[in-house]
Structures are given as structure tokens and as C-alpha cells.
Amino acid sequence: MLQDPIKPLMRAPLTDPFGRDISYLRISVTDRCDFRCVYCMSEDMAFLPKRDLLTLEEIDRVASAFVSRGTRKLRITGGEPLVRRDIMNLFRSLSRHLASGALDELTVTTNGSQLARYAQELADCGVRRINVSMDTLDPEKFRRITRWGDLSKVLAGIEAARAAGLRVKINAVALKGVNEDEIEGLMQWAHGLGMDLTLIEVMPLGEIEPARLDQFLPLSMVRAKLMDRYTLDDDPYRTGGPARYVRVRETGGLVGFITPMTHNFCESCNRVRLTCTGTLYMCLGQEDAADLRAPIRASADDAPLYRAMEEAISRKPKGHDFVIDRRQPRAAVGRHMSVTGG
């Protein structure tokens, strides 16, 4: 355990200027990944030196401070979170908040490459639901999209997760001219195994080799194409994230749509993101951020950390300003998705 297994002293919830309580913290534990997905990273990424990263103990301390201020859901992300050394120590420690009732859910977004190794441990730590990022069932296309990935390892990881009792949701980025003809097949495969599917529009984060406009596929078009063959009923199911779901009558499964470009999801945003360096982003699509590493390293007392958190949330914007436009070749936000956390 990184910390004593005690319930944090509950304080007043963190509320932003628009009356939204911050109940969901996404934590990127590393900017490193064993894939180089074409919509997420440049092929030749420069990663942060390890000395700049928060220790696992420091991540636990910040996460616990947020739990004490009303955060009910923690999602561990990366990069690829399961490549960080000793990462299961963090899961084991954070699980104390599940046991105390202070936290509703501890979950993870992963590329699946390490799941065969860690699925049972995750389940033992109280993780009940995970997201696996996978954009195609074609092994060669999978390698082209991820540059380095091995689809067979991901599929084996998904099977290990299901065997461990984890509920798996597949996340797929819709890529024009790449996987748009596979989305129906992905849905049928996922639903056939009892897994939901969430589709995501490309976001203009970080400079990468392919042009964003060349990758961008509006999910309104994807949904319309699915409706030609399937009956899609709006469903109230929510996970705490931005996806809006439909249930497919013919398969019985759910399809989620995350549409930051064509229809933003900001009005009910309850999320903030902590990077592996201790930078808190109040909005995925804005550059404004707060440094939480300085206060936790300056004092063993959490009072400076709470002040920094409160000041940061007081600046949370109403929404993002994503746009993909040929007249604006640069990314809307300079940092890569792997830096902020997926």
C-alpha cells in the first residue's frame, strides 16, 4: 500500500463557475506507450524524463485529495498506463477508497497489450469495468494504425479481462478511409461477446504526420449509415464520461458516440485531467492548466494542494473550442493526447 487504508476526511465538493461538481478525475500515469497510433502520437515521440514524473505515491496523494473533495470516479490512463513500472501498487492503494465507500469506481483505459498479464490483478483491486482502445479487427490494418501493435496480443488481453470478470468496452476512433467500412463489423463482434462499443471522432491534439482533416469522419455520418440497417434507440445509460448511447435492437448491445467536433459534450462536463507531471487540465480542449506538483513537493501538509485545486477549478471553462479546418493547419491544442491522457 502506498498510503494507510483510511477513508479521506470528506470536505466540500469542488464546483466550477458554472455549477458543475467535479466528480470525475482522469489520471495519466505516463506519457509512454508501446504503440504509436497515427491519430495520437508522432512516430518519433520525445518522452518526458522520468525525474519530471509524479511518483506513484504523489499520484495517490493527489487522487486522494480529489476523492476527499467529492470525486467519485478515478480513471487511470496514459500513454499506456500498464507499461508504467509497479503500476499495480497504485491500483492496490487506490482500492482502499472503494472499500471505504468514498469512491464509486476505479477504472482504466488501455490499449490491451498488457491485459493478459494484469487483468486478474485489476479485478482483485476492485476494477470492474475497463475500456480497450481498438480501431480494427484486421491484423495488418491494426499494425498500420498503431505502427507497432500486435492485434493477437490485444485480443488475448480482452479474453483475459473477460475471464477475470471485467466488463470490457471497446473504444474505436472513426478514421475516414481507414476503418469506416469496418464499424458495423466491430459492433457485431463486440456485441456478440457482450461488450459495448464507443466511437470517437478524431480530436485536433498535437502535431502528427497525417492531416487531421484527412482523418476526420463525422459520427453523424456513421450513425446515419448504421440506421440504414439497424434500429437505434436512444438509451439513458451513462458512465460519467462524454459518450451518448443508443441501444441496437437487433444486437441488444450499446453503441456510444463521443463527438467533440460535430456536437460538443461540454454542458454537463464533470471531468478534469491530471497529467503524469502533476499538471491539471480543466478542459481537454484548452491550454489553461494548474501545477499541482509544486504544492505537493513543497509541503507534507495538503492545505497548499487544496488551495491549488480550488483555484484551478475556479477557472474551468464552459467548453472547448475544437475545430478542424484546412485554413488552420496547426493542431487546436499543441500537446498530444498521450500527454493529457486518453
Q: Does the annotation place 69 within a ligand binding site?
A: no
* Higher-confidence position of 7 and 250: 250
- pLDDT at res. 342: 54
Structural domains in the chain plus CATH codes: 24-340 (3.20.20.70)
Given a cut of 70, whether residue 154 has pLDDT beyond it is yes
Of 40-49, 98-107, 122-131, 223-232, minimum mean pLDDT range: 40-49
Q: Does the annotation place 23 within a ligand binding site?
A: no
- pLDDT at res. 50: 84
- pLDDT at res. 240: 77
- The closest alpha carbon to 176, from 134, 223, 135, 216, belongs to 216
Given a cut of 50, whether residue 185 has pLDDT beyond it is yes
227: which residues sit within 8 A by CB, 6+ positions away? Answer: none
Of 15-19, 46-50, 99-103, 284-288, minimum mean pLDDT range: 284-288
Query: What nine digits make up the cell of 276?
Result: 503524469
Given a cut of 60, whether residue 234 has pLDDT beyond it is yes
Q: Enter the DSSP assignment of 44.
A: S
> What string of DSSP letters covers 192-229?
HTT-EEEEE----BS--SS-HHHHB--HHHHHHHHHTT
- pLDDT at res. 264: 57
Q: Does the annotation place 276 within a ligand binding site?
A: no
Q: What is the mean pLDDT of residues 113-118?
A: 98
| pLDDT tens for each residue of 9-63 | 667 899 999 999 999 999 999 999 999 888 887 777 778 888 889 999 999 999 9
Q: What is the mean pLDDT of residues 147-172?
A: 97
End-to-end CA distance of the chain: 26
pTM for the model: 0.87
Residue 270 vs residues 13, 48, 149, 280, 309: alpha-carbon distances, Å: 12, 28, 33, 14, 14
Given a cut of 50, whether residue 318 has pLDDT beyond it is yes
Q: What is the mean pLDDT of residues 310-333?
A: 66
- The closest alpha carbon to 8, from 60, 82, 53, 50, belongs to 60
- pLDDT at res. 314: 95
Task: Report the alpha-carbon distance of residue 235 to residue 41 in Å, rounded.
Answer: 33
Residue 169 vs residues 131, 161, 162, 166, 194: alpha-carbon distances, Å: 5, 11, 11, 10, 9
Report for 96-100, 214-218, 259-263, 320-324: range of highest mean pLDDT: 96-100
- pLDDT at res. 208: 47
Q: Does the annotation place 173 within a ligand binding site?
A: no
Q: Does the annotation place 125 within a ligand binding site?
A: no
Q: Does the annotation place 266 within a ligand binding site?
A: yes
Mean pLDDT of the chain: 88
Q: Residue 35: in which H helix or E strand, if any?
A: none
Q: Does the annotation place 67 within a ligand binding site?
A: no
Given a cut of 50, whether residue 297 has pLDDT beyond it is yes
Given a cut of 70, whether residue 206 has pLDDT beyond it is no
Q: Does the annotation place 26 within a ligand binding site?
A: yes
- pLDDT at res. 268: 72
259 pLDDT tier (thresholds 50, 70, 90):
confident
Q: Does the annotation place 203 within a ligand binding site?
A: yes
- pLDDT at res. 39: 82
